[in-house]
Amino acid sequence: MDLRLGKPYAYRGQSLIDHVVGCLSRLEDFLRTNPNYVRVIHMRLSSAGVNVAKQGDIREMLKLGVVAHDLGKAYKYYQDRVEKYGGGFEGHEILSAVSCYKMTGGLKDQDPLKILLLMAVLNHHQALRESISELLMDRTSSLIRKIKDVARSGLCDSVYNLEPVLEEIELSVEEAFARDYPEFESIFDRIRELLVFFLRRNFDENKRWLKLYSLFMFPIVLVDNLDACEKRGGSAGDRLIIRELRRVIEDE
């Protein structure tokens, strides 16, 4: 079976593994045609008081973020909706952030680089949603209740089809997803506590470097949109935007 056509789906007609592989290819194009981008992130982080030993660490984080950004779509609830209705992934970025947390080995060390990547994954659909970070800190949010129900549905049976792309970043399915709902809820609560700490209690102290998450989010949004439009098409308005985005990764 061709994994590029099978479940789990990123959208009807495109598998999640095909989308992630396509996004990784476009990330490489972007970094090749914009060779100073990683250096700019490194410099901005340093000027905001965040010391990153190697620029290579930033490059690896960008790659990890691209792999993680849509992993939340691999839950059974979403996959059933694709087959019935053709789509319906509202809030998947929250489940993707849980995967991102696990893939980075957790945030007990409160590593700013990992926190910025988590924020980037959480917010990569910010143009379509309310502030995800604010919603996560609101225990009464209807979206959060829905996301917990999605997590309770469990991962789809075909989640192991993602193994080949996870192996590219030296991870397995077990290392990229919560193994069950109790682990999901535990990670979710840790993410929420971190957001409360950094965005509310200590925001004034940390706001300079916290705002830099957009530097990690931009490549995710770029490659996500480029691959989606190429593989799934879009409206005339979408194609106009995509033409402008494509210039970012094309050789001058």
User: What confidence score (pLDDT) does residue 233 get?
Assistant: 65
Residue 243 makes CB contacts below 8 A (sequence gap 6+) with: none
Residue 190 makes CB contacts below 8 A (sequence gap 6+) with: 101, 106, 107
Amino acid 204 reads D
The model's pLDDT over 126-147, given as tens digits with 9 standing for 90+, comes to: 655 556 666 676 777 888 889 9
- Mean pLDDT, residues 56-81: 95
Contacts 24+ apart (CB under 8 A), 103-111: 103/64, 103/67, 103/68, 103/169, 103/171, 103/175, 103/176, 104/64, 106/190, 107/190, 107/191, 107/194, 110/194
| Domains with residue ranges and CATH for the chain | 9-246 (1.10.3210.30)
The model's pLDDT over 84-126, given as tens digits with 9 standing for 90+, comes to: 988 889 899 999 999 999 999 877 666 888 889 999 999 888 6
User: What confidence score (pLDDT) does residue 164 get?
Assistant: 94
Q: Residue 16 in contact with residue 4, Cβ under 8 Å?
A: no
Backbone angles phi and psi of 10, in degrees to 5: -90, -25
User: What confidence score (pLDDT) does residue 1 get?
Assistant: 44
- Mean pLDDT, residues 202-210: 70
User: What confidence score (pLDDT) does residue 175 get?
Assistant: 96
Amino acid 191 reads I
Exposed e or buried b per residue across 51-66, where buried means at least 16 C-beta atoms within 10 angstroms of its C-beta: ebeeeeebbebbbbbb
User: What confidence score (pLDDT) does residue 248 get?
Assistant: 65
Q: Check the CA dihedral 144-149-152-155 and report its sign.
A: negative
- Mean pLDDT, residues 174-203: 87
pLDDT band at 158 (very low <50, low <70, confident <90, very high): very high
